Chains A and B, each alone.
Chain A
């Protein structure tokens, strides 16, 4: 019944938004958010490392940090954000209808989503790819050995499509068992309903923690797709899109320039012009976007730079234990690259 009523709610919101709003897409999100006093951010229903409530009920994770960064940029206060947990299926509808101001929900940037759903991706805060998790006892080491397997996954994801493509191109049979909620998908895999659980590889490491015996499962090394995960905004509000885009870039630039939450105050007096522009000492970069000039300073002070959010949420010292890999800075052989603040 819960699901029905949610669907109904989203539906009503969509209908109402579509029916009564007279083109509310123009540059309005910023003023609406400011007037409301907080930003509403769509996140997952619980994915450790990306968006997950901690034992005190506070949302934490890399995606949550992007939301906090945007709040810090807009309000100078990273706590002025509320989170709406959304299933994979609900997320775009919730964004389109204005129920949330942005999504940071381990969402893959794909061309169809970018061009046909009325939404825009602002960047990539985590480069990922789809993988498989299986029981160790199966003795499998390669995903090409999965012929005939049952796969548990989430409904309404790129995962469903990639799995179909992968098995068909490799002439393998498969059965897909697609759940609306990730917790049920994991539980079904846990009871043995499926031979493999498939989703973004980072999420495999995260979901493995929820299994009764995490040590009895391995994540296969093969990656079968590109899953660039990033924040999403409604199409048509370029000012808001800029703010979300540059909130992420600010964190990446800060890492590159060696600015951290610890040294950000002393860095304000640094001579390096790139640092001075980033922290709003020189230039009018913040006001150009309609927010204050110390926007990036506030992000770094409260949320930290990209390396800090990575290590705190998914890095080697966390239960997920993920290495920087392709998510290292471009200067260190990775893909994380931000255009300059200039």
Chain B
């Protein structure tokens, strides 16, 4: 009897006890973290290692060979962090775009009825998935670099674009004030895409009609551009790179480190994405394909309208982790002197300033934020796709 009532009371208190336990754990965790930080700070002080984040405003004093924002030796270490972060973002975004595109096609190639395409896709996947990424980066960097000519003997397209062992040198486009009209023309083109797409969708649902989208869009764009031309003429001028001394001056140069890194990252990641895409499409029930065929959809239509939308739900979660991997793997840049955040901030800045704890912490926080942001965007997209799928099915 007594036993039972104790158990009952105990049960009743479980809710309360849970709350208490959680508070206790939280307090303990807080104290532990506080103790750790306090100890780190006092030990660094005792070792006479400078600490804090004051260095962010100090003059960096070193040069960086790819900067997407204004930067000079007189800029601060804080600016170095921005330059490095943007360089990391640049390879990541371009790498992700290329890897997705390539991976998607190869994944579909793996499912092709055509023996040759099928085998080629398989060989691609097996090679790029199984060779360590660092080796691939080195291969593209040194392998390609070795075969490129010196600036004096550059490969060139029409003496405006040059390719040599200093990189790809493109003419810079300088826009005059009239360029705004061309900007508006492009906006009109984009608006047309949305408008015609919506119209086509409505027509499809309401009347089952298939309306053209891209032809009217092209028409709008051409007309808009012609109007811009009439209004503003050609407000663009080209700054053509010229060979002076050791290298080309003027124009925009894409450094070989960037090319090698983007190439290696996207080829490598594409092999994983291809497998994800293949698995995703195979996960769609066979009956769906047959039903699409029975409705008289062509192979491409079946893929675009029936199979891929359903496969996306399976594809997106693992795809997200590939995107995260690519971003994190871009830190291998330091091996081939691409000035990413690990190279210029967790590398040069770290040795110059000597505050390893602060700098590594900031770097880790940035990678963490990038990862969380990527996950967030992909989860949002995933939710949208899942919902759309749900409302139709």
- Name A residues whose Cβ lies closer than 8 Å to a Cβ of B: 1-4, 7, 10-11, 14-15, 17-23, 25, 88-89, 91-93, 96, 112-113, 116-118, 146-150, 152, 155-157, 160-161, 163-165, 167-168, 173-181, 184-185, 187-188, 191-193, 195, 234-236
Contacts and interface: CB of A to CB of B under 8 A. Distances in A.
Given A178-B337, A193-B165, A18 B357 contact: yes
B269 interface: no
B65 A175 contact: yes
6 contacts: A88-B351, A147-B245, A155-B337, A160-B63, A161-B352, A164-B61
Contacts of A25: 46-47
Name B's interface SS.
helix
Given A7-B360, A23-B43, A180-B337, 16 more contacts: A15-B357, A20-B39, A96-B49, A116-B50, A117-B50, A118-B44, A149-B247, A150-B247, A160-B62, A163-B63, A177-B257, A181-B335, A188-B141, A188-B142, A236-B46, A236-B48
Given A18-B44, A21-B43, A1 B356 contact: no
B183 interface: no
Interface in B224-263: 244-247, 249, 255-257
Given A89-B347, A118-B48, A188-B145, A14 B63 contact: no
A337 B194 CA distance: 80
Contacts of B342: 7
Contact of A89 (B141, B339, B351): B351
Contact of B335 (A92, A180, A234): A180
Contact of B134 (A1, A155, A193): A1
B247 A164 contact: no
A150 B145 CA distance: 14
Contacts, number: 171
A149 to B, nearest CB: 5
Interface in B25-45: 36, 39-40, 43-44
A155 B44 contact: no
A192 B247 CA distance: 12
A78 to B, nearest CB: 29
A139 to B, nearest CB: 12
B200 interface: no
Contacts of A160: 62-63, 348
A156 B49 contact: no
Contacts of A116: 49-50, 353-354
B79 interface: no
Which 8 pairs across A and B sit closest by C-beta, in order of nearness? A156-B351, A118-B49, A117-B354, A148-B245, A118-B47, A18-B40, A176-B63, A118-B48
Contacts of B133: 1
Contacts of B346: 7
A229 to B, nearest CB: 16
B254 to A, nearest CB: 13
Nearest to B146: A191
B350 interface: yes
B246 A3 contact: no
A168 B74 CA distance: 11
B347 A184 contact: no
B134 A179 contact: no
A93 B334 contact: no
Given A161-B61, A177-B65, A188 B351 contact: no
A4 B150 contact: no
B132 interface: yes
Contact of B165 (A7, A174, A191): A191
A210 B354 CA distance: 30
A117 B73 contact: no
Given A184-B336, A236-B47, A174 B63 contact: yes
Pick the most buried of B50, B62, B133: most chain A CB atoms within 10 A of its CB. Answer: B62
Contact of B343 (A2, A19, A155): A155
B40 A168 contact: no
A87 to B, nearest CB: 9
A5 B196 CA distance: 52
Contacts of B332: 1, 3-4
B166 interface: yes
A185 B36 CA distance: 39
A89 B346 CA distance: 9
Contacts of B145: 188, 191-193
Nearest to B132: A1
Residue among B40, B49, B249, B336 with the most chain A CB within 10 A? Answer: B49
Highest count of chain B CB atoms <10 Å: which of A15, A146, A177, A185: A177
Nearest to B47: A118
Nearest to B49: A118
Nearest to A120: B48
B365 to A, nearest CB: 13
Q: Which of B36, B48, B249, B343 has the most CB of A within 10 A?
A: B48
B48 A178 contact: no
Given A118-B48, A178-B343, A148 B337 contact: no
B40 A178 contact: no
A3 B65 contact: no
Interface in B107-158: 132-134, 141-142, 145-146, 148, 150
Contact of B40 (A19, A23, A89, A179): A19
A18 B133 CA distance: 33
A176 B335 contact: no
A147 to B, nearest CB: 6
B246 A193 contact: no
A48 to B, nearest CB: 21
A149 B63 CA distance: 13
B64 interface: yes
A100 to B, nearest CB: 14
B41 to A, nearest CB: 8
Given A164-B63, A179-B337, A148 B348 contact: no
Contacts of B132: 1
B331 interface: yes
Contacts of B245: 147-149
